[in-house]
Structure 1
Protein backbone atom coordinates (compact mmCIF):
# COMPACT_ATOMS: atom_id res chain seq x y z
CA UNK A 1 0.00 0.00 0.00
CA UNK A 2 1.24 3.49 -0.87
CA UNK A 3 -0.19 6.52 0.92
CA UNK A 4 -0.43 9.51 -1.39
CA UNK A 5 -0.47 12.92 0.29
CA UNK A 6 1.27 15.28 -2.17
CA UNK A 7 -1.01 17.25 -4.50
CA UNK A 8 -0.68 16.44 -8.19
CA UNK A 9 -0.67 18.81 -11.12
CA UNK A 10 -3.68 20.99 -11.91
CA UNK A 11 -6.74 19.86 -13.83
CA UNK A 12 -8.05 23.29 -14.79
CA UNK A 13 -8.34 22.53 -18.52
CA UNK A 14 -10.50 19.42 -18.05
CA UNK A 15 -14.26 19.08 -18.23
CA UNK A 16 -15.57 17.14 -15.22
CA UNK A 17 -19.01 15.51 -15.16
CA UNK A 18 -20.64 13.95 -12.11
CA UNK A 19 -23.31 11.37 -12.96
CA UNK A 20 -25.15 11.44 -9.66
CA UNK A 21 -25.56 14.44 -7.40
CA UNK A 22 -25.58 13.02 -3.88
CA UNK A 23 -23.48 13.94 -0.87
CA UNK A 24 -20.21 12.34 -2.05
CA UNK A 25 -20.48 13.95 -5.47
CA UNK A 26 -21.10 17.29 -3.78
CA UNK A 27 -18.17 16.75 -1.41
CA UNK A 28 -15.79 16.11 -4.30
CA UNK A 29 -17.08 19.04 -6.33
CA UNK A 30 -16.73 21.34 -3.33
CA UNK A 31 -13.22 20.08 -2.59
CA UNK A 32 -12.10 20.56 -6.18
CA UNK A 33 -13.50 24.08 -6.27
CA UNK A 34 -12.30 25.09 -2.80
CA UNK A 35 -8.77 23.98 -3.69
CA UNK A 36 -9.10 25.94 -6.94
CA UNK A 37 -8.15 22.93 -9.03
CA UNK A 38 -10.60 24.16 -11.62
CA UNK A 39 -13.41 26.67 -12.19
CA UNK A 40 -17.14 26.01 -11.72
CA UNK A 41 -17.60 26.44 -15.48
CA UNK A 42 -15.57 23.24 -15.99
CA UNK A 43 -17.85 21.13 -13.76
CA UNK A 44 -21.23 19.66 -14.65
CA UNK A 45 -23.57 17.60 -12.48
CA UNK A 46 -26.42 15.45 -13.71
CA UNK A 47 -29.00 13.12 -12.20
CA UNK A 48 -32.00 11.23 -13.42
CA UNK A 49 -34.87 13.45 -12.32
CA UNK A 50 -34.23 15.59 -9.23
CA UNK A 51 -34.26 19.12 -10.67
CA UNK A 52 -34.51 20.72 -7.22
CA UNK A 53 -31.21 19.10 -6.22
CA UNK A 54 -29.55 20.29 -9.44
CA UNK A 55 -30.83 23.82 -8.85
CA UNK A 56 -29.45 23.74 -5.31
CA UNK A 57 -25.98 22.63 -6.48
CA UNK A 58 -25.92 25.13 -9.32
CA UNK A 59 -26.80 28.00 -7.01
CA UNK A 60 -24.39 26.88 -4.30
CA UNK A 61 -21.30 26.22 -6.44
CA UNK A 62 -21.95 27.73 -9.87
CA UNK A 63 -21.55 24.37 -11.62
CA UNK A 64 -23.36 23.52 -14.85
CA UNK A 65 -26.55 21.48 -14.90
CA UNK A 66 -29.31 21.05 -17.46
CA UNK A 67 -30.91 24.08 -15.79
CA UNK A 68 -28.04 26.44 -16.63
CA UNK A 69 -25.82 24.49 -19.02
CA UNK A 70 -26.05 26.61 -22.17
CA UNK A 71 -28.82 24.30 -23.46
CA UNK A 72 -26.64 21.21 -23.21
CA UNK A 73 -28.35 17.92 -22.48
CA UNK A 74 -27.21 15.38 -19.91
CA UNK A 75 -25.93 13.25 -22.77
CA UNK A 76 -23.86 16.14 -24.13
CA UNK A 77 -22.38 16.84 -20.69
CA UNK A 78 -21.22 13.21 -20.59
CA UNK A 79 -19.89 13.19 -24.13
CA UNK A 80 -17.77 16.32 -23.73
CA UNK A 81 -16.36 15.35 -20.32
CA UNK A 82 -12.70 14.44 -19.88
CA UNK A 83 -13.51 12.85 -16.50
CA UNK A 84 -16.80 11.12 -15.68
CA UNK A 85 -17.61 10.37 -12.04
CA UNK A 86 -19.97 7.46 -11.48
CA UNK A 87 -21.77 8.66 -8.36
CA UNK A 88 -25.22 7.16 -8.65
CA UNK A 89 -26.84 4.98 -5.99
CA UNK A 90 -25.60 1.36 -6.05
CA UNK A 91 -29.09 0.01 -6.80
CA UNK A 92 -29.23 2.19 -9.94
CA UNK A 93 -25.62 1.70 -11.01
CA UNK A 94 -25.82 -1.19 -13.47
CA UNK A 95 -28.68 0.25 -15.53
CA UNK A 96 -27.24 3.77 -15.42
CA UNK A 97 -23.78 2.69 -16.57
CA UNK A 98 -25.22 0.55 -19.36
CA UNK A 99 -27.25 3.54 -20.53
CA UNK A 100 -24.14 5.68 -21.10
CA UNK A 101 -22.30 2.98 -23.08
CA UNK A 102 -22.90 4.74 -26.44
CA UNK A 103 -21.79 8.09 -25.01
CA UNK A 104 -18.36 7.33 -23.58
CA UNK A 105 -15.13 7.37 -25.57
CA UNK A 106 -11.76 5.71 -25.13
CA UNK A 107 -9.96 8.88 -24.03
CA UNK A 108 -12.27 9.61 -21.09
CA UNK A 109 -11.29 8.82 -17.50
CA UNK A 110 -13.99 7.02 -15.51
CA UNK A 111 -13.92 7.42 -11.72
CA UNK A 112 -16.31 5.23 -9.74
CA UNK A 113 -17.55 6.13 -6.25
CA UNK A 114 -19.82 3.09 -6.08
CA UNK A 115 -19.13 0.69 -3.22
CA UNK A 116 -18.70 -2.93 -4.30
CA UNK A 117 -18.62 -2.28 -8.04
CA UNK A 118 -15.44 -3.76 -9.51
CA UNK A 119 -13.43 -2.45 -12.41
CA UNK A 120 -14.22 -5.60 -14.40
CA UNK A 121 -17.96 -5.08 -13.82
CA UNK A 122 -17.73 -1.50 -15.10
CA UNK A 123 -15.84 -2.74 -18.15
CA UNK A 124 -18.55 -5.31 -18.84
CA UNK A 125 -21.30 -2.72 -18.46
CA UNK A 126 -19.50 -0.34 -20.84
CA UNK A 127 -18.51 -3.22 -23.14
CA UNK A 128 -14.89 -2.07 -23.41
CA UNK A 129 -11.70 -1.51 -21.46
CA UNK A 130 -11.30 2.15 -20.48
CA UNK A 131 -9.15 4.06 -17.98
CA UNK A 132 -11.15 3.30 -14.82
CA UNK A 133 -10.45 4.42 -11.25
CA UNK A 134 -12.26 2.57 -8.48
CA UNK A 135 -12.51 4.51 -5.23
CA UNK A 136 -13.92 4.07 -1.73
CA UNK A 137 -14.28 7.52 -0.11
CA UNK A 138 -15.89 8.00 3.28
CA UNK A 139 -18.38 10.58 4.48
CA UNK A 140 -15.71 12.72 6.17
CA UNK A 141 -14.85 13.83 2.64
CA UNK A 142 -17.74 16.28 3.01
CA UNK A 143 -15.60 18.36 5.41
CA UNK A 144 -12.26 17.81 3.68
CA UNK A 145 -11.09 15.11 6.14
CA UNK A 146 -11.87 12.04 4.08
CA UNK A 147 -9.88 8.87 3.59
CA UNK A 148 -10.17 7.30 0.14
CA UNK A 149 -8.96 3.96 -1.19
CA UNK A 150 -7.98 4.19 -4.87
CA UNK A 151 -7.36 1.40 -7.39
CA UNK A 152 -6.57 1.66 -11.10
CA UNK A 153 -7.31 -0.34 -14.21
CA UNK A 154 -4.36 -1.16 -16.45
CA UNK A 155 -5.51 1.47 -18.95
CA UNK A 156 -5.04 4.41 -16.54
CA UNK A 157 -2.00 6.49 -17.55
CA UNK A 158 0.42 8.16 -15.10
CA UNK A 159 -1.13 11.52 -16.00
CA UNK A 160 -4.61 10.22 -15.25
CA UNK A 161 -3.40 8.81 -11.93
CA UNK A 162 -2.13 12.26 -11.02
CA UNK A 163 -5.52 13.74 -11.91
CA UNK A 164 -7.40 11.22 -9.76
CA UNK A 165 -5.08 11.70 -6.80
CA UNK A 166 -5.30 15.49 -7.03
CA UNK A 167 -9.08 15.24 -6.93
CA UNK A 168 -9.23 13.05 -3.84
CA UNK A 169 -6.43 14.93 -2.07
CA UNK A 170 -8.76 17.92 -2.25
CA UNK A 171 -11.06 16.16 0.26
CA UNK A 172 -8.54 14.32 2.45
CA UNK A 173 -5.89 11.62 2.07
CA UNK A 174 -5.58 8.73 -0.37
CA UNK A 175 -4.47 5.13 0.00
CA UNK A 176 -3.41 3.64 -3.34
CA UNK A 177 -4.20 -0.09 -3.09
CA UNK A 178 -4.54 -3.18 -5.21
CA UNK A 179 -8.19 -3.61 -6.09
CA UNK A 180 -8.31 -6.84 -4.06
CA UNK A 181 -7.95 -4.66 -0.93
CA UNK A 182 -10.93 -2.41 -1.65
CA UNK A 183 -13.20 -4.50 0.60
CA UNK A 184 -10.64 -4.03 3.38
CA UNK A 185 -10.71 -0.27 2.80
CA UNK A 186 -14.48 -0.41 3.24
CA UNK A 187 -14.12 -2.21 6.57
CA UNK A 188 -11.46 0.19 7.86
CA UNK A 189 -12.26 3.70 6.63
CA UNK A 190 -15.30 3.46 4.37
CA UNK A 191 -17.58 2.38 7.24
CA UNK A 192 -15.16 3.66 9.88
CA UNK A 193 -16.80 6.98 10.75
CA UNK A 194 -19.94 5.13 11.83
CA UNK A 195 -17.98 3.06 14.37
CA UNK A 196 -16.69 6.26 15.97
CA UNK A 197 -20.16 7.81 15.97
CA UNK A 198 -21.57 4.68 17.63
CA UNK A 199 -18.91 4.85 20.36
CA UNK A 200 -19.69 8.55 20.82
CA UNK A 201 -23.38 7.71 21.19
CA UNK A 202 -22.50 5.39 24.07
CA UNK A 203 -20.27 8.03 25.67
CA UNK A 204 -23.11 10.58 25.46
CA UNK A 205 -25.53 8.15 27.10
CA UNK A 206 -23.06 7.54 29.91
CA UNK A 207 -22.37 11.27 30.35
CA UNK A 208 -26.06 11.98 30.84
CA UNK A 209 -26.36 9.07 33.30
CA UNK A 210 -23.52 10.74 35.21
CA UNK A 211 -25.61 13.90 35.51
CA UNK A 212 -24.29 16.11 32.71
CA UNK A 213 -26.75 18.05 30.59
CA UNK A 214 -26.89 17.04 26.92
CA UNK A 215 -25.17 20.17 25.59
CA UNK A 216 -22.23 19.86 27.98
CA UNK A 217 -22.01 16.13 27.34
CA UNK A 218 -21.83 16.67 23.58
CA UNK A 219 -19.13 19.33 23.87
CA UNK A 220 -17.01 17.18 26.17
CA UNK A 221 -17.37 14.01 24.10
CA UNK A 222 -16.67 15.71 20.77
CA UNK A 223 -13.61 17.48 22.12
CA UNK A 224 -12.36 14.29 23.76
CA UNK A 225 -12.57 12.29 20.54
CA UNK A 226 -11.08 15.15 18.51
CA UNK A 227 -8.23 15.60 20.96
CA UNK A 228 -7.45 11.89 21.09
CA UNK A 229 -7.29 11.63 17.28
CA UNK A 230 -5.06 14.71 17.08
CA UNK A 231 -2.73 13.28 19.73
CA UNK A 232 -2.17 10.19 17.59
CA UNK A 233 -1.68 12.28 14.45
CA UNK A 234 0.59 14.96 15.89
CA UNK A 235 2.75 12.91 18.25
CA UNK A 236 3.31 9.98 15.92
CA UNK A 237 2.88 7.63 18.87
CA UNK A 238 0.72 4.53 18.63
CA UNK A 239 -2.74 4.49 20.22
CA UNK A 240 -1.50 1.67 22.45
CA UNK A 241 1.39 3.75 23.79
CA UNK A 242 -0.81 6.81 24.36
CA UNK A 243 -3.41 4.68 26.17
CA UNK A 244 -0.76 3.26 28.46
CA UNK A 245 0.50 6.75 29.30
CA UNK A 246 -2.89 7.86 30.59
CA UNK A 247 -3.70 4.59 32.38
CA UNK A 248 -2.35 4.86 35.92
CA UNK A 249 -2.21 1.62 37.95
CA UNK A 250 -5.41 1.19 39.97
CA UNK A 251 -6.70 4.50 38.64
CA UNK A 252 -9.95 5.59 37.04
CA UNK A 253 -8.87 4.92 33.47
CA UNK A 254 -7.64 1.44 34.31
CA UNK A 255 -11.01 0.68 35.91
CA UNK A 256 -12.77 1.74 32.70
CA UNK A 257 -10.39 -0.19 30.42
CA UNK A 258 -10.86 -3.31 32.53
CA UNK A 259 -14.63 -3.05 32.12
CA UNK A 260 -14.26 -2.64 28.33
CA UNK A 261 -11.96 -5.65 28.24
CA UNK A 262 -14.45 -7.72 30.24
CA UNK A 263 -17.09 -6.89 27.64
CA UNK A 264 -14.85 -8.00 24.77
CA UNK A 265 -14.62 -4.47 23.38
CA UNK A 266 -11.51 -5.03 21.25
CA UNK A 267 -12.71 -8.35 19.84
CA UNK A 268 -16.11 -6.89 18.98
CA UNK A 269 -14.53 -3.99 17.08
CA UNK A 270 -12.32 -6.39 15.12
CA UNK A 271 -15.28 -8.66 14.34
CA UNK A 272 -17.37 -5.67 13.25
CA UNK A 273 -14.69 -4.42 10.85
CA UNK A 274 -14.18 -7.90 9.40
CA UNK A 275 -17.94 -8.21 8.91
CA UNK A 276 -18.06 -4.84 7.12
CA UNK A 277 -15.33 -6.01 4.76
CA UNK A 278 -17.10 -9.33 4.27
CA UNK A 279 -20.36 -7.57 3.46
CA UNK A 280 -18.57 -5.39 0.92
CA UNK A 281 -17.34 -8.56 -0.76
CA UNK A 282 -20.90 -9.95 -0.78
CA UNK A 283 -22.22 -6.78 -2.42
CA UNK A 284 -19.42 -6.99 -4.97
CA UNK A 285 -20.30 -10.62 -5.73
CA UNK A 286 -23.94 -9.60 -6.28
CA UNK A 287 -22.77 -6.93 -8.73
CA UNK A 288 -20.59 -9.49 -10.51
CA UNK A 289 -23.52 -11.87 -10.93
CA UNK A 290 -25.88 -9.15 -12.12
CA UNK A 291 -23.44 -7.66 -14.65
CA UNK A 292 -22.30 -11.00 -16.08
CA UNK A 293 -25.78 -12.07 -17.19
Structure 2
Protein backbone atom coordinates (compact mmCIF):
# COMPACT_ATOMS: atom_id res chain seq x y z
CA UNK A 1 0.00 0.00 0.00
CA UNK A 2 1.39 3.37 -0.98
CA UNK A 3 2.07 6.09 1.55
CA UNK A 4 -0.47 8.29 -0.28
CA UNK A 5 -3.24 5.73 0.12
CA UNK A 6 -2.35 5.08 3.75
CA UNK A 7 -2.41 8.82 4.50
CA UNK A 8 -5.74 9.25 2.74
CA UNK A 9 -7.35 6.47 4.77
CA UNK A 10 -6.02 7.85 8.04
CA UNK A 11 -7.81 11.16 7.46
CA UNK A 12 -11.20 9.64 6.62
CA UNK A 13 -14.22 9.06 8.81
CA UNK A 14 -15.73 5.58 8.68
CA UNK A 15 -19.23 4.69 9.84
CA UNK A 16 -20.42 1.12 10.36
CA UNK A 17 -24.22 0.76 10.13
CA UNK A 18 -24.49 -2.49 12.02
CA UNK A 19 -22.31 -3.54 14.95
CA UNK A 20 -22.16 -7.32 14.69
CA UNK A 21 -19.22 -9.67 14.34
CA UNK A 22 -18.32 -8.69 10.77
CA UNK A 23 -18.32 -4.97 11.54
CA UNK A 24 -16.13 -5.67 14.56
CA UNK A 25 -13.77 -7.84 12.49
CA UNK A 26 -13.18 -5.13 9.89
CA UNK A 27 -12.86 -2.31 12.44
CA UNK A 28 -10.54 -4.33 14.64
CA UNK A 29 -8.34 -5.21 11.68
CA UNK A 30 -8.07 -1.58 10.60
CA UNK A 31 -7.24 -0.43 14.13
CA UNK A 32 -4.75 -3.23 14.78
CA UNK A 33 -2.94 -2.43 11.52
CA UNK A 34 -2.86 1.24 12.62
CA UNK A 35 -4.44 2.20 9.32
CA UNK A 36 -6.83 4.57 11.06
CA UNK A 37 -7.38 5.79 14.60
CA UNK A 38 -10.36 4.39 16.48
CA UNK A 39 -11.75 7.89 17.04
CA UNK A 40 -12.29 8.14 13.26
CA UNK A 41 -14.64 5.14 13.33
CA UNK A 42 -18.27 5.20 14.44
CA UNK A 43 -20.43 2.12 14.95
CA UNK A 44 -24.21 2.17 15.04
CA UNK A 45 -26.99 -0.26 15.75
CA UNK A 46 -30.68 0.12 16.29
CA UNK A 47 -31.11 -0.65 19.98
CA UNK A 48 -28.33 -2.67 21.63
CA UNK A 49 -26.61 -0.14 23.91
CA UNK A 50 -24.72 -2.90 25.74
CA UNK A 51 -23.06 -3.96 22.48
CA UNK A 52 -22.09 -0.37 21.66
CA UNK A 53 -20.59 0.07 25.13
CA UNK A 54 -18.59 -3.13 24.64
CA UNK A 55 -17.20 -1.96 21.29
CA UNK A 56 -16.27 1.48 22.62
CA UNK A 57 -14.63 -0.01 25.69
CA UNK A 58 -12.61 -2.55 23.72
CA UNK A 59 -11.56 -0.51 20.69
CA UNK A 60 -12.30 3.16 21.42
CA UNK A 61 -14.70 3.59 18.48
CA UNK A 62 -17.42 6.24 18.64
CA UNK A 63 -21.09 5.43 19.32
CA UNK A 64 -24.21 7.34 20.35
CA UNK A 65 -23.15 6.63 23.93
CA UNK A 66 -20.35 9.17 23.48
CA UNK A 67 -22.86 11.91 22.67
CA UNK A 68 -23.05 11.85 18.88
CA UNK A 69 -26.19 11.16 16.89
CA UNK A 70 -26.53 8.36 14.34
CA UNK A 71 -27.60 10.86 11.69
CA UNK A 72 -24.56 13.02 12.33
CA UNK A 73 -22.16 10.09 12.16
CA UNK A 74 -23.61 9.07 8.82
CA UNK A 75 -23.71 12.52 7.27
CA UNK A 76 -20.08 13.18 8.24
CA UNK A 77 -18.72 9.81 7.14
CA UNK A 78 -16.54 9.44 4.05
CA UNK A 79 -17.28 5.73 3.92
CA UNK A 80 -20.43 4.03 5.20
CA UNK A 81 -20.28 0.26 5.73
CA UNK A 82 -23.61 -1.57 5.49
CA UNK A 83 -23.19 -4.48 7.89
CA UNK A 84 -26.71 -5.30 9.04
CA UNK A 85 -28.43 -8.68 8.77
CA UNK A 86 -29.97 -9.43 5.35
CA UNK A 87 -33.49 -9.61 6.78
CA UNK A 88 -33.17 -6.03 8.09
CA UNK A 89 -31.31 -4.62 5.10
CA UNK A 90 -34.05 -3.13 2.88
CA UNK A 91 -35.76 -1.18 5.66
CA UNK A 92 -32.48 -0.11 7.25
CA UNK A 93 -30.88 1.12 4.01
CA UNK A 94 -34.01 2.97 2.92
CA UNK A 95 -34.07 4.72 6.30
CA UNK A 96 -30.70 6.39 5.67
CA UNK A 97 -31.39 7.58 2.13
CA UNK A 98 -31.76 11.21 3.23
CA UNK A 99 -28.42 11.08 5.10
CA UNK A 100 -26.33 9.80 2.21
CA UNK A 101 -24.66 12.12 -0.31
CA UNK A 102 -23.12 11.41 -3.75
CA UNK A 103 -19.57 12.07 -2.51
CA UNK A 104 -19.72 9.22 0.02
CA UNK A 105 -18.63 5.65 -0.62
CA UNK A 106 -21.01 2.86 0.38
CA UNK A 107 -19.44 -0.53 1.14
CA UNK A 108 -21.93 -3.36 1.61
CA UNK A 109 -21.03 -6.70 3.18
CA UNK A 110 -24.63 -7.96 3.13
CA UNK A 111 -24.77 -11.48 1.71
CA UNK A 112 -26.77 -11.70 -1.50
CA UNK A 113 -27.73 -8.03 -1.77
CA UNK A 114 -26.94 -6.68 -5.24
CA UNK A 115 -25.40 -3.34 -6.10
CA UNK A 116 -28.50 -2.55 -8.15
CA UNK A 117 -30.76 -3.10 -5.13
CA UNK A 118 -28.59 -0.85 -2.94
CA UNK A 119 -28.61 1.87 -5.59
CA UNK A 120 -32.39 1.57 -5.81
CA UNK A 121 -32.76 1.95 -2.05
CA UNK A 122 -30.41 4.95 -1.92
CA UNK A 123 -31.64 6.74 -5.02
CA UNK A 124 -28.90 5.67 -7.43
CA UNK A 125 -26.46 8.57 -7.02
CA UNK A 126 -23.88 7.02 -4.70
CA UNK A 127 -20.79 4.91 -5.40
CA UNK A 128 -21.41 1.37 -4.14
CA UNK A 129 -18.97 -1.45 -3.41
CA UNK A 130 -20.15 -4.97 -2.69
CA UNK A 131 -17.79 -7.05 -0.58
CA UNK A 132 -17.96 -10.55 0.81
CA UNK A 133 -15.30 -10.83 3.55
CA UNK A 134 -15.03 -13.44 6.27
CA UNK A 135 -14.49 -13.27 9.99
CA UNK A 136 -10.80 -14.21 9.73
CA UNK A 137 -10.41 -10.51 8.92
CA UNK A 138 -10.33 -10.08 12.71
CA UNK A 139 -6.78 -11.46 12.82
CA UNK A 140 -5.62 -10.09 9.48
CA UNK A 141 -6.17 -13.36 7.60
CA UNK A 142 -9.45 -12.59 5.88
CA UNK A 143 -10.39 -13.41 2.30
CA UNK A 144 -12.69 -10.94 0.53
CA UNK A 145 -14.33 -10.72 -2.87
CA UNK A 146 -14.87 -7.14 -4.09
CA UNK A 147 -17.18 -5.82 -6.83
CA UNK A 148 -17.68 -2.18 -7.89
CA UNK A 149 -20.51 -0.11 -9.29
CA UNK A 150 -19.68 2.09 -12.28
CA UNK A 151 -19.79 5.18 -10.03
CA UNK A 152 -16.81 4.07 -7.91
CA UNK A 153 -13.78 6.22 -8.73
CA UNK A 154 -10.22 4.90 -9.15
CA UNK A 155 -9.26 6.50 -5.83
CA UNK A 156 -12.23 4.86 -4.09
CA UNK A 157 -11.12 1.53 -5.53
CA UNK A 158 -7.65 2.05 -4.08
CA UNK A 159 -9.13 2.91 -0.69
CA UNK A 160 -11.42 -0.14 -0.70
CA UNK A 161 -8.64 -2.52 -1.65
CA UNK A 162 -6.31 -0.98 0.92
CA UNK A 163 -8.95 -1.42 3.62
CA UNK A 164 -9.53 -5.09 2.86
CA UNK A 165 -5.85 -5.79 2.20
CA UNK A 166 -5.20 -4.60 5.73
CA UNK A 167 -7.35 -7.44 7.07
CA UNK A 168 -6.27 -10.20 4.67
CA UNK A 169 -6.29 -10.82 0.93
CA UNK A 170 -8.89 -9.73 -1.60
CA UNK A 171 -9.92 -10.52 -5.14
CA UNK A 172 -11.79 -8.12 -7.42
CA UNK A 173 -14.51 -10.13 -9.16
CA UNK A 174 -17.45 -9.52 -11.43
CA UNK A 175 -20.56 -9.13 -9.33
CA UNK A 176 -22.06 -12.25 -10.90
CA UNK A 177 -19.40 -14.24 -9.00
CA UNK A 178 -20.21 -12.87 -5.56
CA UNK A 179 -22.43 -15.82 -4.70
CA UNK A 180 -19.51 -18.14 -5.46
CA UNK A 181 -17.27 -16.06 -3.16
CA UNK A 182 -19.91 -16.41 -0.43
CA UNK A 183 -20.02 -20.18 -0.83
CA UNK A 184 -16.23 -20.57 -0.78
CA UNK A 185 -14.57 -18.00 1.48
CA UNK A 186 -17.52 -16.18 3.06
CA UNK A 187 -18.94 -19.30 4.69
CA UNK A 188 -15.73 -21.30 4.36
CA UNK A 189 -14.27 -20.79 7.85
CA UNK A 190 -17.33 -22.50 9.34
CA UNK A 191 -16.73 -25.57 7.17
CA UNK A 192 -13.17 -25.80 8.48
CA UNK A 193 -14.29 -25.32 12.08
CA UNK A 194 -16.89 -28.06 11.65
CA UNK A 195 -14.22 -30.40 10.26
CA UNK A 196 -11.95 -29.56 13.20
CA UNK A 197 -14.77 -30.18 15.70
CA UNK A 198 -15.29 -33.65 14.22
CA UNK A 199 -11.57 -34.48 14.31
CA UNK A 200 -11.33 -33.38 17.95
CA UNK A 201 -14.36 -35.49 18.89
CA UNK A 202 -12.85 -38.53 17.16
CA UNK A 203 -9.51 -37.98 18.91
CA UNK A 204 -11.24 -37.84 22.31
CA UNK A 205 -13.14 -41.05 21.49
CA UNK A 206 -9.76 -42.68 20.79
CA UNK A 207 -8.55 -41.72 24.28
CA UNK A 208 -6.76 -38.38 23.91
CA UNK A 209 -7.59 -35.58 26.31
CA UNK A 210 -9.66 -32.79 24.83
CA UNK A 211 -6.77 -30.36 25.31
CA UNK A 212 -4.27 -32.60 23.52
CA UNK A 213 -6.78 -33.36 20.77
CA UNK A 214 -7.41 -29.68 20.14
CA UNK A 215 -3.71 -28.84 20.06
CA UNK A 216 -2.98 -31.63 17.58
CA UNK A 217 -5.90 -30.77 15.30
CA UNK A 218 -5.20 -27.04 15.27
CA UNK A 219 -1.55 -27.60 14.41
CA UNK A 220 -2.46 -30.18 11.76
CA UNK A 221 -4.84 -27.82 9.99
CA UNK A 222 -2.43 -24.90 10.29
CA UNK A 223 0.47 -26.97 9.00
CA UNK A 224 -1.53 -28.32 6.06
CA UNK A 225 -2.62 -24.83 4.99
CA UNK A 226 0.93 -23.52 5.31
CA UNK A 227 2.26 -26.44 3.24
CA UNK A 228 -0.02 -25.43 0.36
CA UNK A 229 0.99 -21.78 0.64
CA UNK A 230 4.70 -22.38 1.26
CA UNK A 231 5.33 -25.04 -1.39
CA UNK A 232 2.94 -23.71 -4.04
CA UNK A 233 1.91 -27.28 -4.78
CA UNK A 234 -1.69 -28.25 -5.45
CA UNK A 235 -3.57 -29.77 -2.49
CA UNK A 236 -4.21 -32.91 -4.54
CA UNK A 237 -0.48 -33.42 -5.08
CA UNK A 238 0.32 -32.91 -1.39
CA UNK A 239 -2.43 -35.37 -0.53
CA UNK A 240 -0.93 -37.96 -2.85
CA UNK A 241 2.50 -37.48 -1.27
CA UNK A 242 1.23 -38.23 2.23
CA UNK A 243 -0.87 -41.22 1.14
CA UNK A 244 1.18 -44.43 1.17
CA UNK A 245 -0.31 -47.43 -0.69
CA UNK A 246 -2.35 -49.59 1.69
CA UNK A 247 -1.37 -47.30 4.56
CA UNK A 248 -3.33 -45.59 7.31
CA UNK A 249 -4.06 -42.42 5.34
CA UNK A 250 -5.31 -44.36 2.33
CA UNK A 251 -7.65 -46.33 4.57
CA UNK A 252 -9.13 -43.11 5.97
CA UNK A 253 -9.44 -41.44 2.57
CA UNK A 254 -11.12 -44.49 1.06
CA UNK A 255 -13.73 -44.37 3.81
CA UNK A 256 -14.28 -40.65 3.14
CA UNK A 257 -14.71 -41.35 -0.57
CA UNK A 258 -17.17 -44.16 0.14
CA UNK A 259 -19.22 -41.70 2.20
CA UNK A 260 -19.05 -39.07 -0.55
CA UNK A 261 -16.98 -36.58 1.40
CA UNK A 262 -15.99 -34.54 -1.68
CA UNK A 263 -19.55 -34.59 -3.02
CA UNK A 264 -20.84 -33.32 0.33
CA UNK A 265 -18.37 -30.43 0.29
CA UNK A 266 -19.33 -29.56 -3.28
CA UNK A 267 -23.01 -29.58 -2.38
CA UNK A 268 -22.38 -27.47 0.74
CA UNK A 269 -20.49 -24.79 -1.19
CA UNK A 270 -23.16 -24.71 -3.89
CA UNK A 271 -25.92 -24.53 -1.26
CA UNK A 272 -24.26 -21.61 0.49
CA UNK A 273 -23.94 -19.77 -2.83
CA UNK A 274 -27.55 -20.60 -3.68
CA UNK A 275 -28.71 -19.35 -0.29
CA UNK A 276 -26.91 -16.04 -0.84
CA UNK A 277 -28.93 -15.64 -4.03
CA UNK A 278 -32.16 -16.48 -2.22
CA UNK A 279 -31.46 -13.88 0.46
CA UNK A 280 -30.79 -11.24 -2.18
CA UNK A 281 -33.93 -12.11 -4.12
CA UNK A 282 -36.02 -11.91 -0.94
CA UNK A 283 -34.65 -8.44 -0.20
CA UNK A 284 -35.28 -7.26 -3.75
CA UNK A 285 -38.87 -8.57 -3.63
CA UNK A 286 -39.44 -6.61 -0.43
CA UNK A 287 -38.12 -3.47 -2.12
CA UNK A 288 -40.52 -3.80 -5.04
CA UNK A 289 -43.62 -4.70 -3.04
TM-score by length of 2: 0.95
Counterpart among 266, 269, 272 of residue 273 in structure 1: 269
Match of 1:30 in 2: 28
Give, in whole Å, the separation in 2 of the partners of 1:237 and 1:249: 21
SS at 1:149 equivalent: strand
Match of 1:194 in 2: 190
Match of 2:126 in 1: 130
Counterpart among 3, 13, 16 of residue 15 in structure 1: 13
1:143 is the counterpart of 2:139: yes
Match of 2:87 in 1: 91
Instruction: Provide, for residues 28-85 of structure 1, a one-character-per-residue CA deviation record: whole Å limited to 9, x for no partner.
Output: 11111111111122111111111121111112112211122xx431101100111001
Q: CA deviation at 1:92?
A: 1.3
Counterpart among 63, 66, 73 of residue 65 in structure 1: 63
- For the 8 Å contact 1:204–1:218, the answer to whether it is kept is yes
- For the 8 Å contact 1:7–1:165, the answer to whether it is kept is no
Counterpart among 54, 71, 84 of residue 56 in structure 1: 54
In structure 2, the gaps of 5 or more residues are: none
1:67-82 alignment, distance < 5 Å? 67-68=65-66, 71-82=67-78
Counterpart among 146, 155, 161 of residue 157 in structure 2: 161
Q: CA deviation at 1:186?
A: 0.7
Give, in whole Å, the separation in 2 of the partners of 1:202 and 1:21: 31
Instruction: Provide, for residues 178-208 of structure 1, a one-character-per-residue CA deviation record: whole Å limited to 9, x for no partner.
Output: 0000000011111111111121122122212
Instruction: Provide, for residues 149-173 of structure 1, a one-character-per-residue CA deviation record: whole Å limited to 9, x for no partner.
Output: 1110000001001111111112111
Instruction: Provide, for residues 12-40 of structure 1, a one-character-per-residue CA deviation record: whole Å limited to 9, x for no partner.
Output: 11111111111111111111111111112
Number of corresponding residues: 286
Which moves more between the two structures, 180-189 or 139-148?
Answer: 139-148
Instruction: Provide, for residues 218-261 of structure 1, a one-character-per-residue CA deviation record: whole Å limited to 9, x for no partner.
Output: 11111111110111011111101101111111111111111111
Give, in whole Å, the separation in 1 of the partners of 2:213 and 2:50: 37
Q: Aligned in 2, Cα 1:7/1:90: closer, same or farther, shift over 3 Å?
A: farther
Deviation beyond 2 Å, 4+ runs, structure 1: none
SS at 1:44 equivalent: strand
1:47 is the counterpart of 2:74: no
Give, in whole Å, the separation in 2 of the partners of 1:33 and 1:131: 24
Counterpart among 90, 112, 118 of residue 116 in structure 1: 112
Instruction: Provide, for residues 59-114 of structure 1, a one-character-per-residue CA deviation record: whole Å limited to 9, x for no partner.
Output: 2112211122xx43110110011100111122211111111001100000000111
**RMSD in angstroms over aligned alpha carbons?**
1.3
Which protein is richer in helix relative to its size?
A: 2
SS at 1:67 equivalent: helix
TM-score by length of 1: 0.94
Q: CA deviation at 1:7?
A: 6.8
Which moves more between the two structures, 279-288 or 73-82?
Answer: 279-288
